Amino acid sequence: MNNTLFINDFGVVCPIGASKEQVAENLFSGQRTGLVKRDDLLVDGDVYVGEVQADLPAVDGFAKHFQTRNNQLALAALQQILAEVAKLSTLYSPERIGIVVGTSTSGIAEGEVAMQQQKAAATFPDNYDYKQQEMSNLAEFIAQVTQVKGPYLTISTACSSSAKSFVTANEWITAGIVDAVIVGGVDSLCKMTINGFSALESTSADLCQPFSASRDGINIGEAAALAIVSREAGLFKVWGGESSDAHHMSAPDPTGQGAVRSINKALSLANLNKQQIAYVNLHGTATIKNDQMEAGAVADVFGTDIYASSTKSLTGHCLGAAGALEAIFCCIALSQNKLPIHVWDGQIDGELPQLNWVNLANFTQKIDYCLSNSFAFGGNNVSLIIGKHNG
């Protein structure tokens, strides 16, 4: 059975850019200008976050429950793939195109503002609608914009949400439910998420330092990363392996066996051996436990010579959008035969396997396949393999 899924086009807006070209430029030069200090998000101090600083398209013309920053981000990315969506809608019909996207915040930021006014004045703002913060809002909004008529849903498995969208899309297409799927994820900054991670003692006091001996936590980010996938040959191929170890509500299994299983599942589905993978985009949150687990898991499968980097030091951890965002980073890397730099303070943690951290000088080989890891609360693990299509 053909299980190859093609990425026909993608759109991206994130802290390092609002177009494919801008993202590529900053991805390969290691720019951290998207990480900024904010004093209005954390209850008890300042916090560094990955913030989209581009002007976003207005959503005022849509129904009130669609008027959120989350959907502005979604629209900015969606506009980059609308031509391909229209092309596949003509090829297959709108009824044969579905939507599977991930988020963890939806429009919670608008809900926070509304609750503040309600508490102060006993009335909600005129522009507030409770449906703004429902998880289903994102998929419904994308259906409204694109006018595709197939099934749509939103996945919310925290940090693996948008990576899982690729796997679910493949299942839908294999089952004959649809012929193409809009996939990806969108998350926007909000106080609830940032204070929640702070309560877990998982946020960094400064810029995050993935895999460093000095690492002390994550920087939360926001992004929209959307793609359209089908069996129609495109520039890139993608396969996804999943596992669920359910070790703990928030902590990863320290043995890394769940991560190893998801990586090996992806390799098996792609019919590739581990030597064919040139680069791993690490989940790399810069928390003590995640980096320890992941370094061990990657070393177990690939050894320590494989090129690796965490791009969360550039964008922050974009939560439900992170998996799709980093898959798109792999697409950009494959298209330019460059790799994202591992930006950190260089403080080696002697307790971790030392992978082949990408820098400006050490990358020399041609790349055909990359792997991107996404590991989430509750042991929801997804590993995506992205490859060039040379046909």
What burial class does residue 365 get, using C-beta atoms within 10 Å of its C-beta: 0-12 exposed, 13-18 middle, 19+ buried?
Answer: exposed
317 is catalytic: yes
List all residues 6 or more positions away from 375 whose beta carbon is below 8 Å from its beta carbon: 159, 160, 252, 258, 259, 283, 290, 293, 294, 381, 382
| Strand partners for 12 | 225
DSSP 220: E
The residue annotated as part of the active site, out of 159, 190, 318, 370, is 159
For the beta carbon of residue 31, count every other beta carbon within 10 angstroms.
17
d(CA 212, CA 349): 6
The residue annotated as part of the active site, out of 65, 208, 317, 331, is 317
- Name the token pair of 140: 């419904």
Element (H or E) spanning 243, and its range?
strand 236-244
159 is catalytic: yes
How far does the chain reach from its first CA to its final CA, in angstroms? 19
d(CA 386, CA 391): 15
List all residues 6 or more positions away from 97 whose beta carbon is below 8 Å from its beta carbon: 85, 88, 89, 146, 148, 149, 150, 178, 179, 180, 181, 182, 228
The residue annotated as part of the active site, out of 14, 283, 318, 330, is 283
> In terms of residues, how long is the chain?
391
d(CA 49, CA 45): 13
| Strand partners for 332 | none
3 state DSSP class of 47: strand
- 346-358 burial, b if ≥16 CB within 10 A, otherwise e? eeebeebbebbbb
d(CA 310, CA 316): 10
283 is catalytic: yes
C-alpha distances out from residue 132 to 65, 100, 154, Å = 5, 18, 14
Residues with catalytic annotation? 159, 283, 317
